[in-house]
Amino acid sequence: MKVVILAGGFGSRLSEETSIKPKPMIEIGGLPLIVHIMQNFTAQGYNEFIICLGYKGHIIKEYFENLLSKIDDVDSKEFDSGDLHPSTSKWKIDLVDTGINTMTGGRIKRIREFTDRKPFILTYGDGLANIDLVKLVQHHKLSGCLATVTAVTPPARFGALDIDDLDKVKSFKEKFNLHLSWINGGFFVLEPEIFDFIEGDSIMWEKEPLIHLVEIGELSAYKHLGFWKPCDTLREKHELEELWVNNPPWKNW
């Protein structure tokens, strides 16, 4: 199963860093966020990635071209680049330019041909978690739904998911005032049919497509009670840096 990573946004809420680099290239412990994410997947057996490029995408492209060329030149067991998982040498990466101003849904639509018309995992290039991917995929298969979203319970500044007893999403709210609620954690398992729910570049995946899937009962929720944290602000970046020094909960390699 391939992993699609959305890495093309402007990251305007973290402009202190993103004025010179795309948000997935912000470093935590000397490694870009996107590498932390990919290594977490690699440690769980996923080595094929489709990276959706946009804003300053050339920086991401150059990074991986340089990284993989270095790995190819030496024995992976001897290669030292900060803290890379040995299986990094097995990475297969499609770096796809999905446009500067394309919305998240449009970026997904543009990589349709790279998924081989098979189910795939989707995530963002700016969030870290210790999600058990085997359990996530198993949950998706058992649900029989076209899409599964990982539900998490962080602070109440995010949109909310209303989930029933059968783990079906009943509603998708952009904002909410509840003290505690399930929200979209940004790790999805998707069937190839979901491309039909995205009309074009101007569509946000988090709006019309997800709402439509909810309305027809095709969005399942996998509840994750472990670690999950985005990197949307400078404060969150500093918090992740502190966690990296003190046994980072997302590091499984």
Residue 165 lies in a domain: no
Give me the number of domains the chain comprises: 1
Q: Write out pLDDT tens, residues 187-211.
A: 999 999 999 999 999 999 999 999 9
- For 136, list phi and psi in degrees, rounded to 5: -60, -50
Given a contact cutoff of 8 angstroms between Cβ atoms, the answer to whether 163 and 147 are in contact is no
- 13 has pLDDT over 50: yes
Query: Vertex 73, ends 70 and 78: CA angle to 5°?
Result: 85
For residue 195, give the CATH number of its domain. Answer: 3.90.550.10
Tracing tokens 């040498």 back to the chain, one arrives at: 89
User: What's the whole-model pTM score?
Assistant: 0.87
Structural domain that includes position 8: 2-149+186-245
Confidence band of 6 (pLDDT split at 50, 70, 90): very high
Structure tokens, 144: 């029989």
- Whether 82 maps to a domain, the answer reads yes
Whether 193 maps to a domain, the answer reads yes
Is residue 169 one of the residues assigned to a domain?
no
Residue 10 maps to a domain? yes
pLDDT at 179 over 60: no
% of the chain at pLDDT higher than 90: 71
Q: Determine, yes or no, domain membership for 119.
A: yes
What are 237's two structure tokens?
A: 């970046």
Q: How far apart are CA 225 and CA 227, in angstroms?
A: 7
Give the pair of three-digit tokens for residue 186: 């940004």
DSSP-H helix ranges across the chain: 15-18, 33-42, 57-73, 104-110, 133-143, 208-215, 234-245
**Angle (CA) 192 198 157, round 5°:** 105
Residue 180 maps to a domain? no
Mean pLDDT on 217-236: 95
Residue 141 within any structural domain of the chain: yes
pLDDT, one tens digit per residue, over 67-99 is: 877 655 544 444 444 567 666 778 999 999 999
Kindly tell me if the per-residue pLDDT of 168 is higher than 80: yes
The conformation of residue 12, written as its DSSP 8-state character, comes to G
